[in-house]
A and B are shown apart, each in its own frame.
Chain A
Amino acid sequence: MDVQKENSMVKQKQMLAEHFMELSQVRETGKKVAYTFVPGNLTELIYAFDMLPVYPEINSLQSGMRQKSRDYIREAEEAGYSEDVCSYVKCDIGMMLQGNIGPTGQQLPPPDILLLSYTGCFVFMKWFENLKQFYPDAEIAMLHIPYQESGKIEAGAIEYVKQQLRNEVIPKFEKVSGKKFDADKLAEKMDLSASAEDLLVEVFDSARHKPSPIDAYFGGVYYIGPIFTAFRGSESCVEYYRELLNEVNYRVEKKLGPITPDGILENERFRLVVEGPPNWTHFRNFWQIFYEMGAVFVGSTYTRVGGIYDEGFRHSSQDPLRSMAEYCMGCYTNRNLPQRIDLLETFITRYHADGFLVNSIKSCNSFSAGQLVMMRELEERLEIPVGFIETDLVDPRYYSYSNIKNRLDSFFQMLDQRRPVKSAG
Chain B
Amino acid sequence: MKVYLGIDLGSTTSKAVILDAGENIIGRGITNTRANYEVAAEIARMEAEFNSRFSLLKSRLMQEQNGSADWERIFEALESRFHFLQFKIRFEQLLEMMLHNSRQLDPSADPAGIKSLLNGIQPEILKRIRDRFFTGKVATSSEFFRDLFSSVYLHIIQDEDRSRFDQLLALYDRSITPVENKIIEFDFDALTREAIQLLAEEMELPEDLIHAHLDEVAKLSLEPDDYIGTGYGRQLLPFEKEHIKSEILCHAMGAHSCFPQTRTVLDIGGQDTKAIQVDSQGLVTSFQMNDRCAAGCGRYLGYIADEMNISVSELGPLAMKADHEANICSTCTVFAGAELREYLNLGEKKENILAGLHKAIVERAFALLARSGGVRNEFTFTGGVARNNAVVKYVGQLVTKNYGEIQINTHADSIFMGAMGAALFSARRNKQ
- Residues of chain A touching chain B, judged by Cβ–Cβ distance below 8 Å, are 372, 375-376, 379, 385-388, 390, 398, 400, 403, 406-407, 409-410, 413-414, 417-418, 421
Instruction: Say whether, besides A379-B286, A385-B286, A386-B286, A413 and B291 are in contact (CB < 8 Å).
Output: no
The reply on B83 being an interface residue by CB < 8 A is: no
One of B28-36, B242-250, B314-322 at the interface: B242-250
Residue count of chain B within 8 Å CB distance of chain A: 18
Query: A387–B285 Cα gap in the complex (Å)?
Result: 9
Q: B283 and A417: CB pair below 8 A?
A: yes
Q: How far is the CB of A6 from chain B (nearest CB, A)?
A: 32
Q: B284 and A414: CB pair below 8 A?
A: yes
Q: How far is the CB of B41 from chain A (nearest CB, A)?
A: 18
Q: How far is the CB of A309 from chain B (nearest CB, A)?
A: 31
Q: Which of A375, A388, A398, A417 contacts B284 (CB 8 A)?
A: A417
Q: Which residues of chain B come closer than 8 Å to A387, judged between CB atoms? A: 286
Q: Which residues of chain B come closer than 8 Å to A418, judged between CB atoms? A: 283, 285
Query: A140–B232 Cα gap in the complex (Å)?
Result: 53
Q: Which residues of chain A come closer than 8 Å to B247, judged between CB atoms? A: 410
Q: B286 and A400: CB pair below 8 A?
A: no
Q: A410 and B291: CB pair below 8 A?
A: no
Q: Which residues of chain A come closer than 8 Å to B281, judged between CB atoms? A: 421
Q: Which residues of chain B come closer than 8 Å to A403, judged between CB atoms? A: 289, 291-292
Q: Which residues of chain B come closer than 8 Å to A372, judged between CB atoms? A: 371
Q: How far is the CB of B74 from chain A (nearest CB, A)?
A: 42
Please name 23 pairs of A and B residues whose Cβ atoms are closer than 8 Å in the assembled complex, sorted by A.
Answer: A375-B286, A376-B373, A379-B285, A385-B286, A386-B285, A388-B288, A388-B371, A400-B291, A400-B292, A406-B246, A406-B289, A407-B289, A409-B246, A410-B247, A410-B284, A410-B287, A413-B246, A414-B248, A417-B249, A417-B284, A418-B283, A421-B281, A421-B283
Q: Which residues of chain A come closer than 8 Å to B232, judged between CB atoms? A: 406
- Residues of chain B touching chain A, judged by Cβ–Cβ distance below 8 Å, are 232, 245-249, 281, 283-289, 291-292, 371, 373
Query: A400–B287 Cα gap in the complex (Å)?
Result: 18
Closest to B284 in A: A414
Q: Which residues of chain A come closer than 8 Å to B245, judged between CB atoms? A: 413
Query: A409–B247 Cα gap in the complex (Å)?
Result: 10
Q: B286 and A410: CB pair below 8 A?
A: no
Q: Which residues of chain B come closer than 8 Å to A406, judged between CB atoms? A: 232, 246, 289
Known A-B contacts: A398-B292, A413-B246. Give 19 more (CB < 8 A).
A372-B371, A375-B286, A379-B285, A379-B373, A385-B284, A385-B285, A385-B286, A386-B286, A387-B286, A403-B292, A407-B289, A410-B287, A413-B249, A414-B283, A414-B284, A414-B287, A418-B283, A418-B285, A421-B283
Query: A372–B246 Cα gap in the complex (Å)?
Result: 22
Closest to B253 in A: A417
Q: Which residues of chain B come closer than 8 Å to A386, judged between CB atoms? A: 285-286
Closest to B287 in A: A410
Q: Which residues of chain B come closer than 8 Å to A407, judged between CB atoms? A: 289
Query: A414–B291 Cα gap in the complex (Å)?
Result: 19
Majority secondary structure, B binding face: mixed
Query: A379–B246 Cα gap in the complex (Å)?
Result: 21
Closest to A397 in B: B292
Q: Which residues of chain A come closer than 8 Å to B287, judged between CB atoms? A: 410, 414
Query: A75–B373 Cα gap in the complex (Å)?
Result: 39
Closest to B286 in A: A386
Closest to A403 in B: B291
Q: How far is the CB of A359 from chain B (nearest CB, A)?
A: 12
Query: A243–B50 Cα gap in the complex (Å)?
Result: 67
Q: How far is the CB of B251 from chain A (nearest CB, A)?
A: 10
Query: A400–B286 Cα gap in the complex (Å)?
Result: 20
Query: A61–B289 Cα gap in the complex (Å)?
Result: 28
Query: A400–B292 Cα gap in the complex (Å)?
Result: 8
Closest to B272 in A: A406
Closest to B374 in A: A376
6 tightest A-B CB contacts, nearest first: A410-B246, A410-B248, A413-B246, A414-B284, A386-B286, A409-B246
Q: A410 and B288: CB pair below 8 A?
A: no
Query: A89–B289 Cα gap in the complex (Å)?
Result: 29
Query: A421–B246 Cα gap in the complex (Å)?
Result: 19
Query: A400–B248 Cα gap in the complex (Å)?
Result: 19
Closest to A375 in B: B286
Closest to A376 in B: B373
Q: How far is the CB of B245 from chain A (nearest CB, A)?
A: 6
Instruction: Say whether, besides A375-B286, A400-B292, A421-B283, A414 and B249 are in contact (CB < 8 Å).
Output: yes
Q: Which residues of chain A come closer than 8 Å to B291, judged between CB atoms? A: 390, 400, 403
Q: How far is the CB of A284 from chain B (nearest CB, A)?
A: 21
Q: Which residues of chain A come closer than 8 Å to B373, judged between CB atoms? A: 376, 379
Q: A410 and B283: CB pair below 8 A?
A: no
Closest to A386 in B: B286
Q: How far is the CB of B368 from chain A (nearest CB, A)?
A: 11
Query: A337–B289 Cα gap in the complex (Å)?
Result: 24
Q: How far is the CB of B376 from chain A (nearest CB, A)?
A: 11
Closest to B373 in A: A376
Query: A409–B244 Cα gap in the complex (Å)?
Result: 10
Query: A387–B287 Cα gap in the complex (Å)?
Result: 7
Q: How far is the CB of A367 from chain B (nearest CB, A)?
A: 17
Q: Which residues of chain B come closer than 8 Å to A400, judged between CB atoms? A: 291-292
Q: Which residues of chain B come closer than 8 Å to A398, judged between CB atoms? A: 292
Q: How far is the CB of B235 from chain A (nearest CB, A)?
A: 8
Query: A131–B245 Cα gap in the complex (Å)?
Result: 50
Query: A349–B78 Cα gap in the complex (Å)?
Result: 61
Query: A388–B274 Cα gap in the complex (Å)?
Result: 13
Query: A410–B284 Cα gap in the complex (Å)?
Result: 9
Q: How far is the CB of A420 from chain B (nearest CB, A)?
A: 9
Query: A347–B262 Cα gap in the complex (Å)?
Result: 32
Q: How far is the CB of A417 from chain B (nearest CB, A)?
A: 5
Query: A353–B371 Cα gap in the complex (Å)?
Result: 23
Q: Which residues of chain B come closer than 8 Å to A376, judged between CB atoms? A: 286, 373
Q: How far is the CB of B297 from chain A (nearest CB, A)?
A: 14
Query: A410–B291 Cα gap in the complex (Å)?
Result: 15
Q: Which residues of chain B come closer than 8 Å to A385, judged between CB atoms? A: 284-286
Q: Which residues of chain A come closer than 8 Å to B284, judged between CB atoms? A: 385, 410, 414, 417
Q: How far is the CB of B282 from chain A (nearest CB, A)?
A: 10
**Residue from B249, B287, B291 having most chain A Cβ neighbours under 10 A:** B291
Closest to A391 in B: B291
Query: A403–B290 Cα gap in the complex (Å)?
Result: 9
Q: How far is the CB of B240 from chain A (nearest CB, A)?
A: 15
Q: B285 and A410: CB pair below 8 A?
A: no
Query: A406–B287 Cα gap in the complex (Å)?
Result: 12
Q: How far is the CB of A372 from chain B (nearest CB, A)?
A: 6
Q: How far is the CB of A414 from chain B (nearest CB, A)?
A: 5
Query: A390–B292 Cα gap in the complex (Å)?
Result: 10
Q: How far is the CB of A282 from chain B (nearest CB, A)?
A: 16
Q: How far is the CB of A396 from chain B (nearest CB, A)?
A: 14
Query: A406–B290 Cα gap in the complex (Å)?
Result: 12
Query: A315–B248 Cα gap in the complex (Å)?
Result: 47
Query: A413–B234 Cα gap in the complex (Å)?
Result: 14
Query: A372–B245 Cα gap in the complex (Å)?
Result: 26
Query: A400–B245 Cα gap in the complex (Å)?
Result: 21
Closest to A420 in B: B432
Query: A171–B47 Cα gap in the complex (Å)?
Result: 81
Query: A387–B276 Cα gap in the complex (Å)?
Result: 11
Q: Which residues of chain A come closer than 8 Å to B246, judged between CB atoms? A: 406, 409-410, 413-414
Q: How far is the CB of B242 from chain A (nearest CB, A)?
A: 12
Q: How far is the CB of B310 from chain A (nearest CB, A)?
A: 32
Q: How far is the CB of B12 from chain A (nearest CB, A)?
A: 17
Q: Which residues of chain B come closer than 8 Å to A390, judged between CB atoms? A: 291
